[in-house]
Amino acid sequence: MVDEFSTNTNLLAFNKEHIDRDMDELVRVYASHGIRNLDLNFCEMMRPSSRLNDKRAEDYIKTLGEIKEELGLNYVQAHAPYPVRGTKPSDWDGKIIKALNYAYELGCPHIVVHPTGKDIEENIRYYERFIKESDIIIAIENMESPEEISEAEEINEIIKSNPKRLKALLDTGHAHMRALDIKKEILTYGENLVGLHIHDNDGKSDQHLFPLMGTINWKDVIEGLSEIGYKGYFTYETMYYSREKSIKDEDDVIDKAIDSFHHLF
């Protein structure tokens, strides 16, 4: 059973000062609190000013690799950028492909790429574009809208098109917003499930809260993971908790995250 805490690097990415904080700063903060397992947030590329979008990218990735070795970090997965509202998915292909290759270079076993729309065949073609451009495993995340790919059966169907290169990532908050039986979803994914986005909400909005702050049945989630023999990490994606917090409160935010994990196990 999963017993290792992990977090997306965006845990402290938001703050009430509205100061941007990049991964090479944040991974050191997490390591100082004993957090060694990290999900690299290449959604930074959605910010036009990100170093990942210009000639500084190569040095940025090199620095992340050096910090990994220096501090003994484990980059357990990564998250690719995704199309923002009002843009076409194809407009983002270049950034997504770069993220795939950065993640592979840094030793991530897989990277999350959001699906596009609701059509299964369209998504199969969509993921084929990225499979050709990188050797990393792509994990398909369930989305929160009924107009998008949001259920395990749909994702499993896409995975059938290339089961060696496509896998699944369960986002607990998204499943809860769809009023899905999360344990049943986990059992449906079975061995296809390689990663998690762990966060809580009230079932109505995508709040990205710490577990036990919303209405998800976490006992069922943990039972489901145990029944399929899930061996991956329990990766938090709880970035919105810090939005109304000051940067100087970062220790409290991290302590809150770790404390919520210990209350679950």
Least confident of 83-87, 90-94, 146-150, 159-163: 83-87
Read off the pLDDT of residues 224-243 as tens digits, 9 standing for 90 and up.
999 999 999 999 999 999 99
Of residues 224, 211, 208, the one with CA closest to residue 258: 211
What gap in Å lies between CA 255 and CA 90, rounded to an integer?
A: 40
Locus of tokens 């990490």 = 233
Domains recognised in the chain with CATH numbers: 5-264 (3.20.20.150)
pLDDT of residue 84: 83
Neighbour count for residue 107 (Cβ, 10 Å): 14
pTM of this structure: 0.96
Break the chain down into helix, strand, coil percent, rounded to 5.
Answer: 45, 15, 35
Element (H, E) at 166: strand 166-171
CA distance 45 to 94: 11
In this predicted structure, what is the pLDDT of residue 3? 58
CB count within 10 Å of CB 192 equals 21
pLDDT band at 87, cuts 50/70/90?
confident
Query: How is residue 9 written in tokens?
Result: 């690097």
Rounded to an integer, what distance in angstroms lies between the CA atom of residue 59 and that of residue 24? 11
Give buried/exposed letters for 74-101 (b at 16+ CB in 10 A, else e): ebbbbbbbbbeeeeebeebeebbbbbbb
d(CA 203, CA 4): 26
Q: What is the DSSP letter of 41?
A: E
Q: Please report which confidence band the pLDDT of residue 1 belongs to, taking 50, 70 and 90 as the band edges.
A: very low
Q: What's the rounded Cα separation, in Å, for the pair 103 and 110?
A: 8
Q: Give the model confidence (pLDDT) of 145-177 as tens digits.
A: 999 999 999 999 999 999 999 999 999 999 999
Residue 126: which of 116, 138, 134 has the closest Cα? 116
Residue 134 in contact with residue 105, Cβ under 8 Å? Answer: no
- Give me the sheet containing 137-141, strands edge to edge: 193-197, 166-171, 137-141, 110-113, 74-79, 37-41, 5-8, 234-236
Tokens (6 digits) for 52: 């990942």
| 216 HSE (CA, 13 A, CB side) | 30
Q: Are 233 and 196 in contact (CB under 8 A)?
A: yes
CA dist 75 and 108 (Å) reads: 5
